[in-house]
Amino acid sequence: MKKILYGTMYSFKEIKNLKIFYSFLMFALILISGSYFVSQTSFISQGRIMVDFSIFAISIFNIFIGIFIGASVVYDDIEKKSVFLTITRPIKRTEYLAGRFLGLAAAIIFSTIIMMLIFYFVLLIMHKFIVPAGYFAGNVKAKAGIVSHIKNKRVKSAPAEKNSGKNITGKLSIVKPAAKPFTFYSLPQPLIIQALFIIIESIFISAAALLFSLITSKALASIFAILVFFIGSVSSRMNDLVKPVKKIINGKVVIMHQANHALMSIVHFIYTVLPNFSIFNISSEAAYKVNVSAGIIFYRIVYGICYTALLFIISSLIFARKDIS
């Protein structure tokens, strides 16, 4: 266990020094800051556009980090032969692999947190879309004015967002209520859940990229992972497309149109076998500040973690008998 931890720290340090990691991080930060200008093109609900745009940037760049670094984190180590010194120590190959993978996961978490922080600051400066935290805390009175002020402002700009003030997150609200001269604002709950989902999704796809990189080359592994991600994102919609179109006429269900049977089974197969990535995309909830229920959060996190673990187990079985030379 200790060895896995050291491996994680080492590979995290290594990834942090990678140029590709930096450039993706920088790119995402530029886009997030630039979301302000994008939002200026619209008269209404600029906050929503900023959120949509930034969440897109954050998720896509984290997925890129997951795919490209996932495909190279072990592959490059083998290619550059730096793996030789590691796995000839008294360490199991699975421990090594776990260390590398968890290091990558740590890097993804790190980059997401940084991006979210920047995003948070941009929103804070713009004074859009944030909710005052410490709602439950002691001196509500002092803040009540500001809260209602913001509420009014928001109701004016976007009437749909009525109960936005209630989206309080436990995480960021650990602020001592007493003697605070300013109000502490946090991101609304769906945004924070979205960040969590982005982390899980990126780690998930990086596990797939890692698995592919053990059996093919780095470039092919990245391409496969991108394909899996793409198909996984649209598979649920495709499944809907090939569903028979039904209508109720005179109390009877009548099938109006049915897709080709072979096509249907192919799409069905893809839908069941490939991971479903669309469940991690809750940008509409985030944009409209609709709270996500705990059950959904729990189910999706478990889904992501189980699938990732399965991919990792397959990877470690392959890696255990791989010739490294």
Partner 1 sequence: MIDIMNATKYFRVGFFGTKKTAVENLSLNIEEGKVTGFFGPNGAGKSTTIKMVVGLINPSGGNIKIKGYPASDCRSRLKLGYLPENPSFPRGLKGIEIINYYSKLLDKKINKDEIYDALKLAGIFYAKNIHAHKYSKGMTQRLALAVSILGDPEILIFDEPLSGLDPVGRKEFKDIIFKLKKRKKTIFFSSHVLADSKELCDRIAVLVNGRLIKSEDLEDIEKEAASYAEEKKDNLLTGEYSTPLEVYLYDLMLKSRKN
- Pick the closer one to partner 1 by CB: 70 or 132: 70
Q: How far is the CB of 14 from partner 1 (least distance, A)?
A: 5
Handedness of CA 152, 157, 163, 164 (dihedral sign): negative
Placement of tokens 């999706």 in the chain: 300
Sequence-ordered list of residues with C-beta below 8 angstroms from that of 98, at least 6 positions apart, any chain: 4, 7, 8, 312, 316
Q: How far is the CB of 1 from partner 1 (least distance, A)?
A: 12
- Pick the closer one to partner 1 by CB: 64 or 96: 96
SS3 36: helix
Sequence-ordered list of residues with C-beta below 8 angstroms from that of 197, at least 6 positions apart, any chain: 280, 281, 282, 300, 304
- Pick the closer one to partner 1 by CB: 14 or 201: 14
Sequence-ordered list of residues with C-beta below 8 angstroms from that of 216, at least 6 positions apart, any chain: 224
Sequence-ordered list of residues with C-beta below 8 angstroms from that of 304, at least 6 positions apart, any chain: 197, 200, 201, 203, 204, 280
Q: How far is the CB of 226 from partner 1 (least distance, A)?
A: 25
Name the nearest CA neighbour of 286 among 53, 113, 35.
Answer: 53
Measure the CA–CA gap between 258 and 244, rounded to whole angstroms: 5
- Pick the closer one to partner 1 by CB: 82 or 284: 82
Q: How far is the CB of 7 from partner 1 (least distance, A)?
A: 8
Measure the CA–CA gap between 95 and 98, rounded to whole angstroms: 5
C-alpha torsion 80→83→84→87, nearest 10: -170
- Pick the closer one to partner 1 by CB: 17 or 41: 17
- Pick the closer one to partner 1 by CB: 20 or 30: 20
Measure the CA–CA gap between 69 and 67, rounded to whole angstroms: 6
- Pick the closer one to partner 1 by CB: 18 or 264: 18
- Pick the closer one to partner 1 by CB: 91 or 147: 91
Structure token pair of residue 208: 């797939």
Q: How far is the CB of 213 from partner 1 (least distance, A)?
A: 16
Measure the CA–CA gap between 310 and 210, rounded to whole angstroms: 12
Q: How far is the CB of 18 from partner 1 (least distance, A)?
A: 8
Applying CB under 8 A, the residues found at the interface with partner 1 are: 2-3, 6-7, 9-10, 13-14, 16-18, 77, 80-82, 84-92, 321, 323-325
